[in-house]
């Protein structure tokens, strides 16, 4: 998406998940479970996971 398309919208980045210098539980889990890929891929996977959890906390394996 172009930056202008986000005008007036709230944007959450991977850096915004951490609070007061503490990583978000999803960030910690990706590190602990060695779910890391390249910097581009990992960020996308974490942010997509975060979004999925904000939509529905009872996701089954099939939905994930």
Number of folded domains in the chain?
A: 1
Beta bridge partners, 22, equal: 19
Residue 36 within a domain: yes
Residue 37 within a domain: yes
Residue 64 within a domain: no
Residue 23 within a domain: yes
**Model confidence pLDDT, tens digit, residues 20-64:** 989 999 999 999 999 888 878 899 999 999 998 888 777 888 877
What is the spatial distance between Cα 43 and Cα 24, in angstroms, rounded to a whole number?
Answer: 13
Residue 3 within a domain: no
Instruction: Check: CB of residue 32 under 8 Å from CB of residue 16.
Output: no
Residue 5 within a domain: no
Q: What is the pLDDT of residue 37?
A: 83
Q: Which domain holds residue 21?
A: 12-55
Residue 62 within a domain: no
Instruction: Check: CB of residue 30 under 8 Å from CB of residue 1.
Output: no
């Amino acid at each position: 998406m172009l930056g202008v398309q986000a005008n007036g919208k709230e944007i959450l980045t991977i850096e915004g998940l951490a609070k007061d210098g503490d990583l978000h539980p999803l960030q910690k889990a990706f590190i602990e479970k060695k779910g890391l890929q390249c910097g581009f891929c990992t960020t996308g996977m974490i942010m997509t996971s975060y979004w999925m959890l904000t939509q529905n906390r009872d996701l089954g394996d099939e939905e994930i």
